Structure 1
């Protein structure tokens, strides 16, 4: 690997990006402050001070193992595409890419091109191969996402004590729409890939007349290489099944920090509810703040209160601990990995 590739990770965080990140974090912190003001900071802080650090540490460990499992699934998908990267190297790149995704506004809403850029700069893969592997791995992660959510929804529907609410009904509707809409869009994009290619080229062609940096033929070639990479990956169902197994394990580990956060505060909630609350809260991660900061905490507080039956102060305390374990800890690990990726050339 050349020094240029190692330095390219740092180049992504230019002045304009840093300004957007700063504004995003300020807005997010204001939202968190307002949420705490509405709920009541005193009771929430009191519960946080009494939280059991052992359970918090277990939640952080689960987050670390979760990212490692998803990194392993990523490695399998890359291997199917003909890109062999040692796991000890790729997992660091995956942590670094996760950091970049989590600190960038709207990263949660469409960070695949961003992660593919990091991967292409830190491995021997070209951008189209990287993007194809990232998209495939993300699609594999959707299946356990919806399956775990279905378990939680089924429990809510079957338990006699659940009366329903507008918030929960809307989240169930949102999860259902995603479960139907995402596969439909993927199928249409694959089934009509020639039409997708032509549509993108038509959009790009007027721009290519304004700048020499964009070429309609170059875009067409990139799209064709992307679909070729996808075809090569999907031709190995056994390998994809192994990657899917790691995706399921990663998603299970992704839900555990919510359970450990509940246990850390001494709150009482049925453990199976985390299979609904965690996937449902990720919808709030689509807001334009880094990692959905502010919006996810608000959604979790509402869900823990209305679905989990916790007092609002306990709900905010649990939501805060969960985000410490799953988001802030991932930022810490990913930030260290990002520095290592930058200097290890």
Structure 2
């Protein structure tokens, strides 16, 4: 199997172009909202709260890394937690620079594991995907809690209704799709192989037998992980704890700028809802997430567009750009090691 890391110059240029376009969009949005007010709001930032928000993001990633560590042990993949934390930060970097959200880290992290351990690429990928699915549980739970609180207090504004329905659709649809993919795995396997056969006829790089073998190994790995329910409960507990620290930076962003009305219960809905905008075709959803946060904050709190954008920018510094820098440093170390 070819274990070369699939990063080329064209991919790098696409990522940089995505950041550039997102930056231009945010500049024009800030100009429309009142660039002077945005700058004045940011100028009053309390950097102590900014540091607290960055610490919260660090704890979030460490806890999610621990959840993944539990899943790996169940899968029979032996790797020290200290070493794994660096690998997880590197995978976060790969995810955060990939357009359309969580699409880049899984192959990267499976590649690194297959180089660092005795596990196959398929076993590594199965453990990564399982950990990602576990992280979706608190995503839905916290968003449901936050949405319930908002509905109990008052009716949800129209600007937030579409995101609320999107969360509801994901909360129902994703578990159903996962369950169907497992229940009808033979049908899924057959469908994938039917798609692969025409490709296999025109290139020697892909073979039907090879794909079938990898699908079987992937499902076998999922089966082994699912058998240890006690370990899965522990992993889910770490995933929930990680999500608390993932959402809190939005609250800390409000404290950084002295903006009232952004309470912890509110962020439980706003953060998951804005995450849906991470599916925009830009690295880490840059531009889309900020605009979604502005729409939600203006709809749910007594702040202006400019102040909401300021809060969104500070939140993204804590939760995205800080993780991107730390993850990038970790990625350099991981690639050098592997």
TM-score, with normalisation over the residues of structure 1?
0.94
- In structure 2, the residue corresponding to 1:290 is in which secondary structure? coil
2:92–2:105 CA contact under 8 A, matched in 1: no
User: Which of 29, 32, 35 is 2:23 aligned to?
Assistant: 29
Residue 142 of structure 1 corresponds to which residue in structure 2?
136
* 1:330 lines up with 2:337 in the alignment: no
Whether 1:235 and 2:227 are equivalent positions in the alignment is: yes
Which runs of 5 or more structure 2 residues have no equivalent in the other structure? none
Quote the residue 2:256 is aligned against. 264
Residue segments in structure 1 that go unaligned for 5+ positions in a row: none
Partner of 2:243: 251
| 1:194 pairs with 2:194 | no
State yes or no: 1:93 paired with 2:87. yes
Runs of 4 or more above 6 Å deviation: none
> How far apart in 2 are the matches of 1:308 and 1:211?
56
Deviation at 1:107, TM superposition (A): 3.8
Normalising by structure 2, what TM-score?
0.96
Q: Distance in 2 between matches of 1:35 and 1:119?
A: 42
Q: CA deviation at 1:121?
A: 3.9
Structure 1 residue aligned with 2:288: 295
Please, what is the CA RMSD of the aligned residues?
Answer: 1.6
CA spacing shift, 1:341–1:169, aligned 2, 3 Å = same
Equivalent pairs counted in the alignment come to 336
Residues 301-310 or 318-327, more deviating: 301-310
Partner of 2:309: 316
Partner of 2:177: 185
* Alignment correspondent of 1:169: 161
Structure 1 residues 90 and 110: CA distance shift in structure 2, 3 A: closer
Query: 1:333/1:111 Cα in 2 relative to 1: closer, same or farther (>3 Å)?
Result: closer
Native 8 Å contact 1:146 1:179 kept in 2: yes
Question: 1:170-213 CA deviation, whole Å, 9 max, x = no partner?
Answer: 11100000011001100110000000001101110111111111
- Alignment-derived partner of residue 72 in structure 2: 78
| CA distance, structure 1, for counterparts of residue 243 and residue 264 of structure 2 | 15
Given candidates 86, 91, 102, the residue that maps to 2:96 is 102
Residue matched to 2:42: 48
What residue in structure 1 maps to residue 152 of structure 2? Answer: 158
CA contact (8 A) 1:122 1:341 kept: no
CA shift for structure 1 position 109: 5.5
1:215 counterpart residue number? 207
Q: Determine whether 1:66 maps to 2:60.
A: yes
Matched, 1:283 2:282: no
**Cα displacement string for residues 210-258 of structure 1 (whole angstroms, at most 9, x for unaligned residues):** 1111000110000000000000000000001000010000000001101
Q: Which residue of structure 1 lines up, in the alignment, with residue 7 of structure 2?
A: 13
Cα distance, 1:12 vs structure 2: 3.2
Cα distance in 2, alignment partners of residues 112 and 242 from structure 1 = 21
Paired residues of 1:284 and 1:296 also in contact (CA < 8 A): yes
Tell me how far apart the structure 2 counterparts of residues 147 and 262 of structure 1 sit (CA, whole Å): 23
Structure 2 CA distance for aligned equivalents of residues 140 and 66 of structure 1 = 14
Q: How far 1:166 moved relative to its partner?
A: 2.2
CA contact (8 A) 1:28 1:289 kept: yes
Q: Tell me whether 32-41 or 113-122 shows the greater mean CA deviation.
A: 113-122
Cα distance in 2 for partners of 1:332, 1:122 equals 23
